[in-house]
Chain A
Amino acid sequence: MISSKQLGERIAAARKRQKQTQAELAAKMGFARTTLITIEKGERPLSSVELMRLGEILAVPVNELLREHSVVGEVAPRFRMGPIVGVEMSETAMAVERVRKMAVRYVELERLHEIERVPGRLEALEMYRATAAGARVDPRLAGRDAAFTVRNALSLGDGPALALDERFEVEAGLRIFYPRLGRSVAALFFWSDELGSCIAINRDHPHERRRWSLAHEVGHFLRDREAGDVFPAGGHPRNDPSEVFSESFAAEFLLPQSGLSKQVADRLRANGGRFTPPDIVSLAHLYEVSFEAMTLRLEDLGALHKGTYERLKAHRFRPQDAQAKLGLPRLKADTPILPKRYVTLALQAYADELISEGDLAEFLETDRVTARGMYNAACQQLTDDDDMLELPLGQDLMELGGLDKL
């Protein structure tokens, strides 16, 4: 049972999200403004009828106001939606709100399971923060150094960095979502005390671009998490130190200098000293970045002459055709909107009767019958003999013992 104070805070938060003043809401409820003030402070209880009406007026489910694990989750006030060149702001504001709701639900799921998240290793990295002494270091250099540090922390060596979502979820405590973000936004990042660090990557972008956007936002997470970021689809101005840091981080993290240099040298040796556009295509595929990103990176590292990409573009070189001719499969773009861990927590909560079917559908952002299908599929697994095995989703295997025998 929540306290009057908690209820009052939730009512105030809901009112502010609706952009209503206390006077406006009080008038709609038939109260004096002073009455609403005491309600929001938790000093005056509400009757059941008043609560029902409040829910209708604020367009918020009454359960959201009353349930124990409800999360308010306001985005940090420093995440300001000032004008950004090339970004449709109202579209972005809607996207932020959608991602905020997903993050709120994620935290609620953790609370339902009584999971208190322990910060991941990368969350403790302070030395690249904009407020730290290291902020005086050239942001390009700092970004490269940060990428080296993170690769080491994740034991990635200098090869391609794959399966990034799960690594960053665990090691950095990031909540990573893939919703539609409209035409003008590639990615969003925001942080709050209650929600933690949240990244949203535009699911309509190709796989390679999404990886770059994710790495870029991780750069912001390392440098200035309270500020947040909107990454325009057209790119950021290059003079902002945070953007320089994040782009430098992304480039070195996804395409580490030492690893790439070895790759180029190996190909030169194998091809009698020649390095061709299909070699770039092949490398881009290996590292799961775009042809453009790979070419520009190689130019930056001095492996190719400056202007190579522009010359190839002018000659109408088609990387996708080259990729097909090389027999390299197109990297699939069907990433789920919600993180795997989030979905697992939701299904487990349903199995444990912590949430209802309607809650499950809301958590999974689908309708009830589709949610049932997802639950049934998770509960069933084909055995090697083609029998259907029913999995007890909610069972804690640690209770069965065994870890001490490893």
Chain B
Amino acid sequence: MTARILVVDACCLLNLLATGRELELAVALDATFLVTPQAHGETRYLCGPPDPDVDGQPPTQIPVELSPLMQAQRLEVHALSEADAEAFIACASHLRDADASSVALAATRHVPLASDDGKVKKIARRLYPEMEVISTLQIIREAVEHVGIVGEPLKQLLQDLCTRGNFSPPRRDPARAWFEALK
């Protein structure tokens, strides 16, 4: 049984996968990530190297690989039950089903929600002011400081986050200054 449970939405899960060190980060935090089936369904591709055979050489799509996290029991797909229906419906008036289910799951389980999505965070805070909402960068920062990943390995991790995840730190991310200083 891990010390922490976090609900990750599709946005955050993709970002963690983009680092290529998602299992390490989960272990460093002693965390299990919960994802709803709808959010899981939208966690599909990362950005790969350019395709030389296509005009303009657009990036390729690399299917995500969730099995290492799941096999290590650091990621669980957790469907909503009828008991979560009211929370889900309240969220689904404002958010697409994948995002609504993530917020609803975090609300009904009373656990933090990990998201980088501006609209998701806005709605979560409006409907559940007491909910803890954390960002990918906050997760990464806490994990790397816990296990002492610094210097070039840390820069590479953040570089992979940007290139494989097309990540750009949200304007109001609490860890944005930390990220910018390291880039």
Contact = CB atoms under 8 A, between A and B. Distances in A.
B82 A49 contact: yes
Contacts of B168: 372, 375-376, 379
Contacts of B44: 367-368
B146 interface: no
A327 interface: no
B47 A369 contact: yes
Interface stretch (A121-129, A338-346, A348-356): A348-356
Contact of A61 (B11, B55, B86, B96): B96
Contacts of A370: 45, 47, 59, 61, 166
A367 B45 contact: yes
Interface string A294-331: 00000000000000000000000000000000000000
Contacts of A63: 92-93, 95-97, 100
B92 A62 contact: yes
A52 interface: yes
Contact of B89 (A2, A66, A368): A66
A303 B82 CA distance: 75
B117 interface: yes
Interface in A26-76: 47-49, 51-52, 55, 61-63, 66-68
A97 to B, nearest CB: 20
Contacts of A67: 92-94
Interface residues of B, number: 38
B96 A373 contact: no
A376 B96 contact: no
Contacts of B122: 353
Describe A's contact surface by its main secondary structure.
Answer: helix
B99 interface: yes
Given A353-B122, A356-B117, A52 B88 contact: yes
A279 interface: no
B93 A1 contact: yes
B88 A372 contact: no
A160 to B, nearest CB: 25
A357 interface: yes
Contacts of A52: 80, 82, 85, 88-89
A47 B18 CA distance: 39
Contacts of A355: 119
A51 B89 contact: yes
Interface in B94-139: 94-100, 117-120, 122
A376 B163 CA distance: 12
B14 A356 contact: no
Contacts of B80: 52
B16 interface: no
B85 A49 contact: yes
A368 to B, nearest CB: 6
Contacts of B82: 49, 52
Interface of A: 1-2, 47-49, 51-52, 55, 61-63, 66-68, 334, 353-359, 361-362, 367-370, 372-373, 375-376, 379
8 contacts: A48-B88, A358-B10, A361-B42, A362-B96, A369-B45, A370-B45, A372-B166, A375-B168
Given A62-B88, A357-B117, A359-B96, 8 more contacts: A52-B80, A61-B96, A334-B55, A356-B11, A368-B44, A369-B14, A369-B47, A376-B168
